[in-house]
Amino acid sequence: MSTDSHNTLTNNKSHALEIGSNVLLHVCFFSLFVCIFFFVAASRVEKSIVQNQVKATVQELVQEIKNVIPPAERDALSAVMQNLSAPDMSKQDADAAASNKKLVELSCAVLVPVAVVGVIIVLAAYYGYKHKYKTPPDYSLKRLFAQNGIVLAFVCLTETLFLLAIAANYKSLDPQVVKRVVINSLLSYSKS
């Protein structure tokens, strides 16, 4: 094999190694980012979205009920409502918190080792190539990690802006469906 064909083959292998390493680092970094982003930011924004939508829907339903109930019945209903209290949901809240904690721990237990193994594979491939061909690949690890870091930073920025500008204003709760369910439940209750 001539020196030129050997160099071409070595360059092709180096290029393939760079692409493979780049893809593997992307997958590792983005998997970790998505997990962290969801548990740190998206879940909190989602909780706020649901609470705001439920509150708005209930206020709208109460206003509509006020418009159809005569004043005397409204006063009687108000007197009954004064004796009601919100149920104690502390056990359900604790169960949800424990379940969420387990989910976070499971996610970390899976994704962190996978990312570490991915980085180890990239490093082993780079140094294995360097050892086998007695020359480093045609790319630098520093540049590879820096490029992935820069891309990740832009993905983080994009995801955050999308979450705060678009997702936070998305109406996923259909007020008409909620009203229909509440009214049907009240009708069923009044017939029993």
Q: In Å, what is the CA distance from 72 to each residue of 65, 67, 78, 82, 103?
A: 13, 13, 10, 16, 51
Residue 116 has pLDDT above 80, yes or no: yes
Q: Could you tell me the residue ranges of all domains in the chain?
A: 10-78+93-191
The percent of residues in the chain predicted with pLDDT above 90, rounded, is: 43
Q: Which amino acid type is present at position 127?
A: Y
Which helix or strand (DSSP H or E) is residue 62 part of?
Answer: helix 43-68
Spatial contact of 21 and 144, defined as CB atoms under 8 Å apart:
yes
- Residue 124 has a pLDDT of 95
Q: Which amino acid type is present at position 106?
A: L
Residue 186 has pLDDT above 80, yes or no: no
The percent of residues in the chain predicted with pLDDT above 70, rounded, is: 95
| CA dihedral angle for residue 25, residue 30, residue 31, residue 37, rounded to 10 degrees | 150
- Residue 10 has a pLDDT of 64
User: What are the DSSP calls for 77-124, one per residue?
Assistant: HHHHHHT------HHHHHHHHHHHHHHHHHHHHHHHHHHHHHHHHHHH
Q: What pTM value is reported for the model?
A: 0.73
Other CB atoms within a 10 A radius of the CB of residue 28 amount to: 21
Per-residue pLDDT reduced to its tens digit, 1-28: 555 555 565 678 888 999 999 999 999 9
What is the phi/psi pair of residue 140, to 5°? -105, 140
Per-residue pLDDT reduced to its tens digit, 122-178: 999 999 999 988 888 888 999 999 999 999 999 999 999 999 999 888 887 788 888
> Which range among 29-33, 88-92, 118-122 shows the weakest confidence by mean pLDDT?
88-92
